[in-house]
Structure 1
């Protein structure tokens, strides 16, 4: 027996001088790695389950995108109406009323009603030869180009179906030429509501999450 051989050891553990036994430790490192991995899996599953419970009892946590991530939901701004165009009031509009139909008296009765509704009345009579019995619609609004963004929209609330046309006049008055399809002005309540909607547009809808 070699002097390097510990007492009590022999056989395959006998050291002869050129061969040494390999004393391997138990595979503790592998066990530690496996145990750590298993613990991480258990903790992950427990955390996911807790998240699901919180999500259910809190009402779903809001809107989610297609990728499953929660979408940002910012408070919607207060709805405000778009600024309305500055339009003249009926009292600031001078209307000339002309009758282009074979029916007599339409110009006067229409002018009287427009006066009651606040419009200033200019000339009243039969339509000029260029338009006499040639206006097939309910009526024709005739005025300077500037009237298209001022007097025409306001006066148009009083007569549904009226068309508009501009000419080269240099004055601010407008003509209402009554056409053959004319029956009557719009009811006052309807005209008033149309005028309010024209000057006070409804606010834009509020976007909800």
Structure 2
């Protein structure tokens, strides 16, 4: 019996020789571990590929895409809009010029200048008692309610700061009552530019990018 054989053990359990036997793991276990790892890698790759295909065919996350563009998205303006309501031309507006200040000659000189700018001149003289020396601003545009949608807008380009007021007249003429703060009509170049701006359509912003 060899010295390596434990006492009481013999027969087929008898160990001969002078070295302990080398204990090795069965090779088939290593193969199982490697196969399991490879399966995990393959499944992971397949899952990732599936997600990519789903994202491509579904168009991605529209909410995220919209949120990403919202910061850079600016309204686009269009120059074609609904036509502006037709305004009368200066040659279609009759203006009565009245002087409500103590300074003489203002009504006539102002009327002459308005005539040069294409307006039709009606009455010229001192303001009615209800307004004489009672207009503290640059002037008042006075006319029928319908004048607020046309004549006041056009005549107002000639004198900034003029206020508007309506009365019960049935005619289309309007009054320009010169107030104490009046110095001159606006420069013709400024008034002409304001008239041109009235007839230009304003671009309207849209929500498209």
Q: TM-score, normalised by structure 2?
A: 0.68
Counterparts of 1:127 and 1:70 in 2: how far apart (Å)? 64
Aligned to 1:103: 103
Superposition deviation, residue 166 in structure 1: 0.2
Aligned to 1:173: 173
Q: Is 1:38 matched up with 2:41?
A: yes
**Where does structure 2 lack aligned partners over 5 or more consecutive residues?**
1-11, 13-27, 52-61
Q: Is 1:79 matched up with 2:78?
A: yes
Give secondary structure in 1 for the equivalent of 2:95. strand
Counterparts of 2:67 and 2:78 in 1: how far apart (Å)? 29
Instruction: Summarize the alignment of residues 50-199 of structure 1 with structure 2, pairs less than 5 Å apart.
Output: 71=69, 79-82=78-81, 83-199=83-199
**Where does structure 1 lack aligned partners over 5 or more consecutive residues?**
1-10, 12-25, 49-63
Superposition deviation, residue 165 in structure 1: 0.1
Q: Is the 8 A contact 1:65 1:71 kept in 2?
A: no
Counterparts of 2:154 and 2:99 in 1: how far apart (Å)? 20
Instruction: Summarize the alignment of residues 1-12 of structure 1 with structure 2, pairs less than 5 Å apart.
Output: none
Spell out, residue by residue over 1:128-184, the C-alpha distance to the aligned partner (whole angstroms, 9 max, x if none). Answer: 001000011000000000000110010000001000000000000000000000000
Superposition deviation, residue 42 in structure 1: 5.6
Q: Is the 8 A contact 2:77 2:205 kept in 1?
A: no
RMSD: 3.7
Aligned to 1:4: none
Q: Is the 8 A contact 1:139 1:178 kept in 2?
A: yes
Q: TM-score, normalised by structure 1?
A: 0.68
Q: 1:162 to 1:81 in 2, by over 3 A?
A: farther
Alignment coverage as a number of residue pairs? 171
